[in-house]
Structure 1
Amino acid sequence: MSEHSAEHVPDDYFEPASWESRYAGEGTWWSGAPNAQLVDLAAGLAPGTALDVGCGEGGDIVWLAQRGWRVTGADFSDNGLARAARHAEQAGVGDRLERWRVDAREFDAGGRTWDLVTTHFLHPPDAGMTDVVRRLAAAVAPGGHLLVVGHSPSQHHTRLDEAKRRAMWLAQDLLPAVPEDFEVLVVEQRPRTVVHDGRTFDVDDSTLFARRRG
């Protein structure tokens, strides 16, 4: 899902029902622009098949499809997936999108693999991201890439409750979930400037980028 202001998340942030309600409303919740780390790290990859887990309204899906990728958009919200499909159609790339309703916490590719598996700002509760990354890594094809980006704990998020703060992570926290047949290319906190409600914030994107040896 594309980044939002972490101060304006649904009350039941971790469960599908809250996001179904959010995506059922009018207007858009996200900017529609692709996430910065995806643009930076995936722009040079040869197009193939891609899986975006937690795709939200589809900003990253559209960007990938416009560059020749065949994309599977996965999310635990049917309404979110419907929005993603609509935005892909509006961008003229609807025929390059496949939808999959799945909760990342229960994700199982069942032996299917993609050339790029990516997720942005997915924050399962109780430090659950390590398990999610382990599941996602299993879906990366030999020679393919895994890109995981999230919110880094920072002063920008001090008003969040304890459960949401615990769901944030540093890139290095995910390393135990990366299988031995992966080469880690990036594991760092990447600085970025965001503007919200007229205020400018410096934030760090926790970024893990790895390639499965083929």
Structure 2
Amino acid sequence: MTTHEDGSTVPRPASESFWEPHYQRNIRPWSGLPNAVLADITADLTPGSVLDIGCGEGGDALWLAGKGWKVTAVDVSATVLERARAQAAERGLTANVTFEKCDVSQSLPNGSFDLVSAQYSHTPIDIPREQVLRRAAESVAMQGLLLIVDHASTAPWSWNQDPDVRFPTPQDTLEKLGLDENHWQPIRVEAAQRTASGPDGQRATVTDNVIALRRADR
């Protein structure tokens, strides 16, 4: 429940109702490392402005800020955002990164960004995911990059161990976005394998769907 100044309460939105208790329960220290695909794709980019959608504890946002990017990072959980802000202050990065509470199923921050990153934006909550990703695309500045990285396999430590789950291909996701091919240049659209580390040091080979598109008239 959310309490207003007059003492009245209203139910939390569905996403907040799931993720806020999740992060309140989960106090395991985070690795502090960025997602591998993000680090690889941005390695040679000139730092600019970036929108990090569903930032969690801020691993990507803080890494990007440390590389000179001006980061706007959003998440629906106030608890996880406080952790991220504390890490930014500890690492002297508060001038380069802003953490905002935002339910991305409803809206995204105003403005345009040189990089819009949506890393593993899967959720057990039913949200209009294609709509969220279209909003993400609309937030990309001209010549900017849209980067979507999705799970394409289940790690042994994943919360979802349904053997019948079917992951969409990168082409499936790209098709559902319905972007105008005359205004988007594919940089990378592929399923790629990597070695992932679990919360207790486990290691496993997993597959990521990678969609990297540059916004530019052809």
TM-score range, shorter chain: 0.7 to 0.9
Matched, 1:17 2:20: no
Which runs of 5 or more residues in structure 2 are unaligned? Answer: 1-13
Residue number in structure 2 paired with 1:81 = 81
In 2, Cα distance between equivalents of 1:64 and 1:139? 18
2:204 to 180, 184, 201: 201
In 2, Cα distance between equivalents of 1:158 and 1:100? 27
In 1, Cα distance between equivalents of 2:67 and 2:42? 10
In 2, Cα distance between equivalents of 1:159 and 1:51? 26
Question: More deviation in 130-139 or 118-127?
Answer: 118-127
1:115-174 Cα shifts (integer Å, max 9, x gaps): 100021111455843222111000000010011111113475897266x946x5432222
- Cα distance change on mapping 1:29 and 1:23 into 2, 3 Å: farther
SS of residue matched to 1:82: helix
Matched, 1:212 2:212: no
Q: After the TM superposition, list the runs of 4 or more consecutive aligned residues in structure 1 that deviate by more than 6 angstroms.
A: none
Residue number in structure 2 paired with 1:36 = 36
In 1, Cα distance between equivalents of 2:34 and 2:159? 26
Give the superposed CA RMSD: 2.6
SS of residue matched to 1:106: coil
In 1, Cα distance between equivalents of 2:73 and 2:154? 29
Residue number in structure 2 paired with 1:90 = 90
Question: More deviation in 83-92 or 134-143?
Answer: 83-92
In 2, Cα distance between equivalents of 1:36 and 1:182? 24
Shift of 1:95: 1.4
Contact 1:133–1:178 (Cα < 8 Å) also in 2: no
More helix by share: 1
Q: For 1:41-190, list aligned pairs within 5 A.
A: 41-110=41-110, 112-124=111-123, 125=125, 128-154=128-154, 156=156, 160=160, 165=165, 168-176=167-175, 177=177, 179-180=179-180, 181-190=183-192
Residue number in structure 2 paired with 1:3 = none
Contact 1:23–1:29 (Cα < 8 Å) also in 2: no
In 1, Cα distance between equivalents of 2:159 and 2:214? 36
| Larger of the two Rg values belongs to structure | 2
Amino acid at match of 2:99: R
- Cα distance change on mapping 1:18 and 1:205 into 2, 3 Å: same
SS of residue matched to 1:103: coil
TM-score (norm 1): 0.81
Question: More deviation in 73-82 or 96-105?
Answer: 96-105
Shift of 1:178: 5.3
